[in-house]
Amino acid sequence: MRQWLKVALPVILVIVYPLVLPSSYAMHLGVMTALWVLLATSMNLMIGHIGLISLGQTAFFGLGAFGAGLLSVKLGLPWPLTLPAGILVAMLGAGLIGLVTLRLRGAYYVLGSLGLAEVLRATALNWVDFTGGPMGLGGISPIRINLGPWHYALNERGHYYLVWAIALLLLLVVYRLLHSYVGRGWLGLAVNERLASSVGINWQVSAMGTLLVSALLAGVAGAFYAHYITFVSPEVFGITYTIQMIIMVLVGGRRTFVGPILGALVFTLLPELLRVTDQFRMIILGTLTIIVVLFMPRGLVPWLKSLRKTEGGKGAMP
């Protein structure tokens, strides 16, 4: 009964939201929230599950965005083709990046990962003929439905439903993956690498697997983003996105499934409710990061759970 509720509740919330807040702006927020949920979950796979602080995580978001965008602009491909293609680009990039960075450990991994994202950013900034340079890539075709008798461009609400359908589906897949035999092996590595390795769980393979799945999520977000905004700037490779992802994961609770989702919701919706300007939002984010690291190192979700005081000591998964 509970299990069924866990799946139904998010779906119900997603469906109800546009009915409660139908404005175009609320829909836009809804779309961005979905994207951030995907990005935060992607970051959580790295930070929380395999234990690698991927400071270059936004590279996969950017690759997805530019991949889909470039195919749309240069080759005129429609979105049903560019979305999967963008995802493939992101995952391919992750594979290549992983081959390089997964050899490094600790602080070196962090810096290597950041470095490669910066290289991508510099490439996007300077290859003006290809990517549009600092002015970005514009003119990406918006999402249209061209099926038989139906021909129309998606409006805000359409985008909202589409992105959430994709997001919920992916989240379900990731959830099942994490609770599967393979996924628990990965968790074992994060908790105690030596012990896990001793029972045959291969770190290199698991790390690459985690990286690819996280790149899938980020790539989906990126590809959708490209078609939604119809414009991609080289700044998608910038560290600002990564930092926001990290904060969402930290505050929500890394190594929990719901944590990053909660973090994404809080940080996308709360500033709007409080009507704070962008600067204050970042100041709050920064301060909150520090406070969470200092006082609530496991994040909000575990803290909230500890308040419930149920039969003690459940596992790390919700």
Partner 1 sequence: MIGLAQHLINGIVIGGTYAMMGVGLTLVFGVMGLVNFAHGEAYMVAAFLLYTGAQLLNLPYLAGFALALAGSAVLAYLWERGALRRLYDKPEEAGLLATIGLSVLLQNLALLIWGGTPKSIPDPIPVSSISLGPLQITPARLLIVLIALAVILGLAWWMQKTRLGKAVRATFQDREIAAANGVDVRKVYSLVFIGGSLLTALAGVLLAPIFVVTPNMGVGVTNKSFVIGIVGGLGNFTGAVIAGLVIGITESLTAAYFGGEVQDAVGFLIAIVIMLLRPRWLSAGV
Binding site for partner 1 (CB under 8 A): 53, 100, 103-104, 106-108, 110-112, 114-116, 118-119, 121-123, 125-126, 239, 243, 246-247, 250, 279-280, 282-283, 285-290, 293-294, 297
Q: Between residues 125 and 220, which has the closer beta carbon with respect to partner 1?
A: 125
Q: Between residues 114 and 207, which has the closer beta carbon with respect to partner 1?
A: 114
The terminus-to-terminus CA distance of the chain in angstroms comes to: 16
State both tokens at 89: 């680009």
Least spacing, CB of residue 55 vs partner 1, in Å = 8
Please, which residues have CB within 8 angstroms of residue 114's CB and are 6 or more apart in sequence?
Answer: 55, 56, 239
Least spacing, CB of residue 41 vs partner 1, in Å = 18
Q: Between residues 17 and 303, which has the closer beta carbon with respect to partner 1?
A: 303
Q: Between residues 74 and 103, which has the closer beta carbon with respect to partner 1?
A: 103
Least spacing, CB of residue 93 vs partner 1, in Å = 15
Q: Between residues 224 and 237, which has the closer beta carbon with respect to partner 1?
A: 237
Q: Between residues 44 and 72, which has the closer beta carbon with respect to partner 1?
A: 44
- For the stretch 135-138, contacts whose Cβ atoms lie closer than 8 Å and that sit 24 or more positions apart, written own/partner, are 136/231, 136/232, 136/233, 136/234, 137/66, 137/69, 137/70, 137/73, 137/226, 137/231, 137/232, 137/233, 138/73, 138/230, 138/231
Dihedral angle, C-alpha 236, 237, 240, 242, nearest 10 °: 110
Least spacing, CB of residue 308 vs partner 1, in Å = 25
In angstroms, the CA 24 to CA 13 distance is: 18
Polymer length of the chain: 318
Least spacing, CB of residue 262 vs partner 1, in Å = 18
Residue with tokens 């390089």: 100
CA–chain centroid gap for 270, Å, is: 19
State both tokens at 190: 């994060």
Least spacing, CB of residue 237 vs partner 1, in Å = 10
Q: Between residues 121 and 159, which has the closer beta carbon with respect to partner 1?
A: 121
316 DSSP 8-state letter: S
Q: How far is CA 229 from CA 65, 83, 100, 135, 225, in A?
A: 10, 14, 32, 14, 6
Q: Between residues 198 and 277, which has the closer beta carbon with respect to partner 1?
A: 277
DSSP H helices, 179-238, are 181-191, 193-198, 203-229
Q: Quick check: 160 and 31 in contact, CB under 8 A?
A: yes
Least spacing, CB of residue 10 vs partner 1, in Å = 28
Q: Between residues 170 and 246, which has the closer beta carbon with respect to partner 1?
A: 246
Least spacing, CB of residue 119 vs partner 1, in Å = 5
Q: Quick check: 298 and 254 in contact, CB under 8 A?
A: yes
Residue with tokens 């991949």: 67
Least spacing, CB of residue 176 vs partner 1, in Å = 28
